[in-house]
Every structure is written in structure tokens, then in C-alpha cells.
């Protein structure tokens, strides 16, 4: 049995996934030069501006662009995927992402960079409103449509958090705690809402295309558990700032609903795992296993913030915050998406040793980075702050960038598309 024979539709430009992975490469480079700035003098680089460029570009240029693209390519019927508005929205989102990158690097949060940020939201809204209507197709499974629309709602909610953050920052009326609370609002509904719900939708759609659909009743139960825990889950992010009963009760509710949803998801995975193991190529299989484990670890770490001492430490030590965000963004979201694109042959490693080696180095370096960040956090919790960790993390980040660079070069040297819709592998 051959694995991963699914190919992209001929109506979609073959360079879409290449553009997306190049954006991830740019993000990795920004991460590398920020690590360099910490241990070496680099006066030409403003660390704050670079951090904002890094964060905002990765949201619009890599994750959102890739998620929207995957929905258009693999969820919509081909006749609807061919609409020009989707190509226009793709180009607009990428152009505004580049504008965000350049303006934030040069000036940080200023009127021009905020303008590009606003234009990026408008480009996303083109996808959201058009897809919302086109998802009415009978060919889109009910559960998939439910999760995608839920993801869109959480995306809009997260944008509200970003607007509040901008207002508090520039008006001068926001305290440091209020500004950070607004930032965590945006991050929470992006990571745990928009990203997570969309990934579940893509996974459920994939199971449907390979004739392993999950019962609609089970999918709806999973959806409502995750949705009901998402709003109270925000209080976990601010529990260290407001250790009051009004924040503790919704936090506990969120942990309970998330753990229940995780049990259902674990049951689903166990049920379909033999098929996934046979159906997917080795690269996708490994990436999805890591992504699944990362999702469960994320839930456990979030639950740990119910302990007051851990909550205070979690949100006061930057390496731990970065480690948690990277656990979600790289190990869960990015590994799943790269594996998804590899399965559908929009990215490839076969017949390219450079791409194969690059992907291996990238995955290992990301895992080492997580180990380094959480180990550094553990030492800090014990009151030990060795500077050597910053040097180690710099070289690990260099490995992330070089591995991804080799993976991209290997894909640029090969054709990344075929001329037919994804096929069901039997």
C-alpha cells in the first residue's frame, strides 16, 4: 500500500504552500537574530521592534495564511475553490503580512504598522465571509463546517482583543496589567480558538476523505466541550494578575471541560490510529504524533496554572511563556500543518535528501528548544540563572533556522503539485 498519494487540485496555484513555508522561514530567521541580540552586541537591531514583527508576521504570514489556504484547497468543492476572490484574498493577506514585517521592524507599533495590521485583518475577513457562505455545500461534513465556523468566530473575538490592546497602548489609559491582559486575550483566542478549532476541522475533513469519518454526535460533543471551555479558559491566562474567586471558578470550569474534551479526542485517536498509521507517510505520521502529544501537554500546563505559586511564576518568567507559546505554535500547530501539506504532496521530502535532512534537523531542534526553555525555567524556579542557557538556545535556534532552510531549498528544487484533486487512499 502506498502512502500519502493525495495531491492538490489543479485550480490552486502550486506556489501557495511555498509562500507559506517561506514565511515560516522568515519567522525562524527573526527568532535567530533575536537570540543573537541577547548574547552579542547588535546595535542596529531594536529587540522590541523585532519581537513585534516576529509575532505579528507569524500569525498573519504563516499560520492564518496556511489555514485559510488549506480550507480553500481541501475542504471546499473545487468549483468553489476556483473563485477569484480566494486568490485575491491570498495575495492581499501575504502583501499585508510583508508590510507588517517591514514596518514593525523599522518602527514598532506606529500608525503605518497598525495600518498594515488592520489591512491584514480585512484580508482575513474576505476569507471568513466568503468561506462562511461557501461552506454551506452539502459536500462539506457537518462537523467540519461546525469547527471551521467556530474557528472564524474565535478569530473575530481575538481581533477585538488586538484592537483593545492597541487602544490601551496608545491612549495611555491602560495599566501594565491591563495591557498584558489584553495581549493574553488576543493570544488565547488565536491559539486555543482560531488555530485549534481550524486544525480539528482539517483533521476531521481528512478522516472523512479517507473513509474514516467520526460520528456527527461525537464531533458535536467535542466541539461544544471545547467551545464552552474557551471563554472561561481566558481566566487561566490572567489568574496570576487577579487571584480572586471570580477568576478561579471559570478557570476550574475550563480545565474540567478541556480534560473531558481531551479524553474524547484520545478515544477518537485510539479508534482511528491503526488507519492513520497505515495511511500516512512516515514524515506526516511522526509530525502528527508530536502535534497530538503537544496538544495534551498544553492542556496539562494550562491546568497547572490553577496552583497560585505556579501561576505567579508562569506569567512572570519570559522563557517559560515563550516555551509554552512555542509548544502550541511550533509543536502543535506548525508540525500538524507541515505534516498535512506533506501528506497532500504540496510539500515533499521524497527524492530530495536536502529536504529530508532539513526536516529532521528542524524537528529535532524544535524539540531541543522546548527542552532548553523549560529546563531554563526549572532552574529559574529554583533560583538559579546560568547565562549559558542563552548561548545554548542561540545555537538550537540556529538549528531550527538551518533545518527549515534546507527543507525549503529541497522543496524549491522539486515540483510541489500535481494536476488532480486529493484522492482517497484505500
Find the mean pLDDT for residues 80-102.
93
| Residue scoring higher pLDDT (3 or 33) | 33
For the domain that residue 133 is a member of, what is the CATH number? 1.20.210.10
In a domain, 149, yes or no: yes
Report the alpha-carbon distance of residue 2 to residue 281 in Å, rounded: 8
In a domain, 215, yes or no: yes
Under 8 Å between Cβ of 62 and 31: no
- In the prediction, which pLDDT does 401 show? 97
- Say yes or no to pLDDT of 50 above 80: yes
CA angle (49 as vertex; 17, 387 as ends), nearest 5: 95
Find the mean pLDDT for residues 263-285.
85
Cell of 131: 468561506
**In this prediction, what percent of the chain has a pLDDT beyond 70?**
92
- In the prediction, which pLDDT does 11 show? 55
In a domain, 120, yes or no: yes
**Structure confidence at residue 12 as a pLDDT band (50, 70, 90):** low
Query: CA 145 from chain center: how many Å?
Result: 19
In a domain, 30, yes or no: yes
Domain extent, residue 101, equals 16-412
**Structure confidence at residue 128 as a pLDDT band (50, 70, 90):** very high
In a domain, 421, yes or no: no
Lowest pLDDT segment from 108-117, 274-283, 410-419: 410-419
In a domain, 160, yes or no: yes
Under 8 Å between Cβ of 278 and 343: no
In a domain, 138, yes or no: yes
CA pseudo-torsion sign 354, 359, 364, 370: positive
| Residue scoring higher pLDDT (256 or 277) | 256
Q: In Å, what is the CA distance from 94 to each residue of 64, 69, 144, 186, 411?
A: 10, 11, 26, 21, 20
CB atoms within 10 A of CB 4: 20
| Residue scoring higher pLDDT (245 or 397) | 397
- Residue 13, phi then psi, degrees to nearest 5: -55, 135
pLDDT in tens, 285-319: 999 999 999 999 999 888 887 876 676 666 667 78
Q: Mean pLDDT highest for which of 43-52, 63-72, 158-167, 169-178?
A: 63-72
Find the mean pLDDT for residues 83-93.
92
Query: How many structural domains compose the chain?
Result: 1
Find the mean pLDDT for residues 252-274.
88
- How high is the mean pLDDT of the chain? 86
**SS3 labels along the chain:** CCCCCCCCCCCCCCCHHHHHHHHHHHHHHHHHHHHHHHHCCCCCCCHHHHHHHHHHHHHHHHHHHHHHHHHHHHHCCHHHHCCHHHHHHHHHHHHHHHHHHHHHHHHCCCHHHHHHHHHHHHHHHHHHHHHHHHCCCCCCCHHHHHHHHHHHHHHHHHHHHHHHHHHHHHHCCCCHHHHHHHHHHHHHHHHHHHHHHHHHHHHHHHHHHCCCCCCHHHHHHHHHHHHHHHHHHHHHHHCCCCCCHHHHHHHHHHHHHHHHHHHHHHHHHHHHHHHHHHHCCHHHHHHHHHHHHHHHHHHHHHHHCCCHHHHHHHCCCHHHHHHHHHHHHHHHHHHHHHHHHHHCCCCCCCCCHHHHHHHHHHHHHHHHHHHHHHHHHHHHHCCCCCCHHHHHHHHHHHHHHHHHHHHHHHHHCCCCCCCCCCCCCC
For the question of whether the overall pTM of this predicted structure is more than 0.75, the answer is yes
Under 8 Å between Cβ of 323 and 394: no
Q: Which of 56, 82, 65, 71 is nearest to 21 (CA)?
A: 65
Report the alpha-carbon distance of residue 104 to residue 117 in Å, rounded: 10
- Say yes or no to pLDDT of 421 above 60: no
- Say yes or no to pLDDT of 5 above 60: no
In a domain, 39, yes or no: yes
| Residue scoring higher pLDDT (222 or 81) | 222
Lowest pLDDT segment from 79-83, 186-190, 219-223, 407-411: 79-83
Q: Specify whether the backbone of 351 is left (phi greater than 0), alpha (psi in -120 to 50) or beta.
A: left
Report the alpha-carbon distance of residue 128 to residue 76 in Å, rounded: 13
Amino acid at each position: 500500500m502506498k502512502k500519502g498519494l493525495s495531491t492538490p487540485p489543479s485550480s490552486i496555484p502550486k506556489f501557495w504552500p511555498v509562500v507559506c513555508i517561506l514565511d515560516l522561514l522568515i519567522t525562524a530567521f527573526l527568532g535567530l537574530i533575536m537570540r543573537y541580540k541577547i548574547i552579542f552586541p547588535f546595535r542596529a537591531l531594536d529587540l522590541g521592534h523585532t519581537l513585534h514583527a516576529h509575532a505579528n508576521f507569524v500569525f498573519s504570514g504563516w499560520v492564518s495564511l496556511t489555514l485559510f489556504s488549506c480550507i480553500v484547497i481541501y475542504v471546499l468543492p473545487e468549483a468553489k475553490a476556483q473563485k477569484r476572490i480566494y486568490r485575491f484574498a491570498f495575495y492581499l493577506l501575504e502583501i499585508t503580512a510583508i508590510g507588517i514585517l517591514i514596518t514593525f521592524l523599522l518602527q514598532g507599533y506606529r500608525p503605518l504598522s497598525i495600518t498594515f495590521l488592520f489591512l491584514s485583518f480585512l484580508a482575513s475577513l474576505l476569507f471568513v465571509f466568503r468561506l462562511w457562505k461557501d461552506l454551506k455545500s452539502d459536500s462539506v461534513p457537518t462537523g467540519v463546517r461546525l469547527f471551521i465556523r467556530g474557528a472564524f468566530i474565535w478569530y473575530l473575538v481575538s481581533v477585538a482583543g488586538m484592537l483593545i490592546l492597541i487602544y490601551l497602548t496608545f491612549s495611555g489609559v491602560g495599566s501594565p496589567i491591563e495591557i498584558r491582559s489584553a495581549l493574553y486575550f488576543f493570544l488565547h483566542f488565536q491559539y486555543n480558538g482560531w488555530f485549534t478549532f481550524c486544525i480539528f476541522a482539517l483533521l476531521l475533513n481528512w478522516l472523512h476523505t479517507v473513509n474514516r469519518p467520526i460520528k456527527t454526535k461525537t464531533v458535536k460533543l467535542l466541539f461544544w466541550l471545547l467551545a464552552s471551555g474557551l471563554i472561561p479558559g481566558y481566566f487561566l491566562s490572567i489568574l496570576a494578575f487577579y487571584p480572586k474567586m471570580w477568576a478561579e471558578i471559570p478557570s476550574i470550569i475550563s480545565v474540567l471541560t478541556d480534560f473531558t474534551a481531551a479524553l474524547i479526542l484520545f478515544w477518537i485517536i485510539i479508534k482511528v490510529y491503526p488507519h492513520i498509521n497505515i495511511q500516512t507517510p512516515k514524515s506526516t505520521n511522526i509530525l502528527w504524533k508530536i502535534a497530538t502529544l503537544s496538544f495534551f501537554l498544553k492542556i496539562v500546563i494550562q491546568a497547572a496554572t490553577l496552583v497560585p505559586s505556579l501561576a505567579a511564576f508562569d506569567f512572570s518568567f519570559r522563557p517559560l511563556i515563550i516555551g509554552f507559546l512555542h509548544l502550541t505554535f511550533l509543536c502543535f500547530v506548525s508540525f500538524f500543518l507541515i505534516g498535512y501539506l506533506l501528506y497532500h504532496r504540496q510539500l515533499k521530502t521524497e527524492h530530495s535528501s536536502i529536504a529530508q535532512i532539513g526536516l529532521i534537523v528542524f524537528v529535532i531542534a524544535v524539540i531541543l528548544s522546548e527542552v532548553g526553555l523549560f529546563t531554563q525555567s526549572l532552574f529559574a524556579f529554583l533560583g538559579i540563572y546560568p547565562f549559558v542557557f542563552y548561548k545554548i538556545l542561540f545555537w538550537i535556534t540556529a538549528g531550527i533556522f538551518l533545518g527549515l532552510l534546507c527543507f525549503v531549498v529541497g522543496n524549491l528544487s522539486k515540483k510541489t503539485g500535481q494536476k488532480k484533486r486529493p484522492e482517497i487512499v484505500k
